[in-house]
Chain A
Amino acid sequence: MDRQVTRRGFLALLGGGAVGTVFSPLPWKLLDDAAIWTQNWSWLPRLPRGEVRTHASHCTLCPAGCGISVRTVGGEPFGISPIPGHPLSGGALCPLGFAAHHMAYHPCRLTDPIRRVRERGPLAHVPIAMSEAISEARAWIGAAGGKGAVAVLDARPERVISTLYRWLLEPLGGVYVAAPGGEASFDALDEMLIDPPGPVGLDLAAARTCLSFGAPLLDGWGSPGALPGDVHIIQIETRPSRTALHAGRWLRLHPGTEATLALGIAHVILAEGWANEPLLRERGADFATYRQLALDLTPARTAELTGIGEGEIRAAARRFAQEGPSLALAGTDPGGGPLPREAQLAVWGLNLLVGSFGPPGGIVRRRAPAAPRRRLGDLPDRSIQLLLLDPSVTEAAFPWSLVARKLAGDQAKVISLSPYDAGMALRADLVLPAPAPMETRDEVTAPATAPADALALSRPLRRPPKGVLPVGEMLRQLAGEAAGFDYEALLREKVAAIEASARGSVYEPATGESTPLSGDLTSALEEGACWVDERPAAWPLPEFRLLGGGADARERMRRAVFERPNDAGLVLMPWGWRGAAGAGALPQVAAKLYRESHLRGEADSARIHPETGRSAGLRDGGRARLGTPAGFREVVVAFDAAVLPGVIHVATGPANSSFGDVEPVLGGLVDLCRIDESGSWRLTPVTVGEA
């Protein structure tokens, strides 16, 4: 038999072998192995090991003070859950709170002090030793001479740390300043009351009707779970915010006409006899003037000025007056700034008309006296030679120009206590590294809008990096290690004073129950408990001025109500949600909110009505250039039929394109905005063109 291998036979064997191999597991195995070999590398992270434990604590990312349950592995936090039924948060937590433990590893994290060596902005700082930084800061503090030359800006003013700031300022004649912004401004309310009874809060949980003038009730108002489901919200707001979209009723008014609508509602309440006029006349120094102004503003005129139908105005007023307890809120968007003064006066005044001062479900008094503080706007321009920024300030969103105009020129020094080289720290001459969340014991007090005082602790659950000092210790060193600068001792004193008062109740996360305060509060707080003060007794209606102080109060209100603001051209209205509104550091996984979902009007996109956009020559998804006298910004155009024609809404916060980059960006959208005489930056005339 001839066994000679022919060329044809050889090729047939090769072909047959190749075809056979395809139908064998070999190629799949090779493909699979190749995939696995190329997918797994030594740098892929391994899972942590160690004992798993759960700790009750509180979140300190914002002033809401949500109760959290933190899971740790080997002493390192790895998971955060809300505590159901917590008195401050109602069992909820905001998106950022779920990743608070990641903040310690943020790329912008500081572990050493840094000093500015070139123009303010990213990469302007170099690291220095802590001893050198403290010496330099003390030298600057010592060199800043004169009353009011040193100032502290703090966004969480009722803490023991705030007391230390005041002690630091006292011998220097310095000023303690509460940061602007926040969710509701009580400044105008303080001005209305002739003899204010002390700090007030809002009893939203017991209210049945809420007339919210832009308050971000579902966009960062306290804890997201703090809003009860049975309050009927009438949201009065230009922007189609989440609160507006989910409110019982949304009234989309023309920008800047909040004062007009508030007084228009007052007209209906007064004209239809829903107000207790004899009492208002007795307690209100200017009630007659206010009444006449309101009655001059007919619903038809209000409708013309605000763009809201007459029927809607009457319906809102009747619901507010009849379905009590009712609350009218002069709200504040964290990125959009406070309402102008006259609008705040007009809105808070509605509560006086329907008797919402004092009773449950209204504006209630809190027991603890408020510590003295100044408003940034009240300080003389160019008066501050040295400004100290508390870590809480990085989360606020307000134009830097508000601060810059108060600084004494280029010679003024700014010291920031910040865990990150981002946000406000980029403006600082010296940054002292502060602990990240969960690295030190921190104090949690009730948010400014809460109906009662509260105290809880955030527990230290991970060790801070070497070189990072607690803020109290930094202040002690800045004060030259003066006697009494002992944060822990002061905190113990504060707790002891509450214990001595034997007032209020203590919520124990282990049992989920609140019991009257008795026994050792310190130990309870260490275990994650939360003390809540009891409500004060009934509050008699104080004397008030509905139009605020000043000889020209009536004329100012008349102008604010009857003159329609800037009708021509486009208006820029910035907005943001709390925690994410600033240009500061955010948890890395928050990128998902920006890049991978349809949740936000993204930070670099402008929402605009399709007709307005087309008339400006823009197209949906295209790029546009926004211009104001303060500068330009490029944005992506997003057409939205719910937006009022003539208005452009842009979110503050990190831009989609830059989020997640290590290099932070100096300044943000709010720096384009115009600041009006009352310190508001809600409305800015803007030009727009294709980029």
Chain B
Amino acid sequence: MAATQTDSIIEIRGLCYSRGEHTIFENLDIDIERGKITAIMGPSGTGKTTLLRLITGQLLPDRGSILVDGHDVQALSTKGLYKLRQQMGMLFQNGALLTDYNVFENVAFPLREHTDLPESLIRHLVFMKLQAVGLRGTWNMMPGDLSGGMARRVALARAIIMDPQMIFYDEPFTGLDPISMGVIVRLIKMLNDTLNLTSVIVSHDVAEIATVADQSYLIAGGRVQARGTPEELENSPSAQVRQFMKGLADGPVPFHYPGPDYRDQLLGEES
């Protein structure tokens, strides 16, 4: 562990988080290595998106620590947190583009907010990033006119406009057709390698993750169930890991949501 600790850009130790009565994480330990693509997998509803929000300081944990690039996220002031976030890019599930600006202005938004660059330089930077995601031709379209996959690519261009160190993908493959999916997979890999980024992908798409991730964590029931390369997880002896990786309907995660006895509920009186 000592060797991995030195080049971890994100270190999560003993993370506990609950929402109301519902415990979401219990003693979670995760290390995200610098320059690698790390996947965080798990069934729907395990709190994968919540984990991203905790790492980026949008939510505060009940207990435990989250160190991002040496900074304790909980201890940072709003100003410090915003400074740290300038080194982060995040791709939301639906792109989260600003609907009253066109594609160009959406990608230029962080530059206009954080820098005083001249207009000509902003143009260059925006068109370079749009070219990287293959959507330079859409510069004057409105977000509403883009397909889901295109909106996500524009959001990706916006996420890398400030040249961040880390980029977080929240379910980047959900609801895409095979072509868009292939494009996004290729982009994640290419951006990670060419821009020297650290990427964190939260997803439940096992097949796509296997092609891009260097390292994977499987989270279920509030704990880390397994970690390793995609092949290691594939060949894991644990029944829980096998169920998820192979997509079995029944197993440690039961097909039926817990409820009262079937017979009692059918024959019993309406309550």
The answer on A and B forming one complex is no
Interface residue ranges, A against B (CB under 8 Å): none
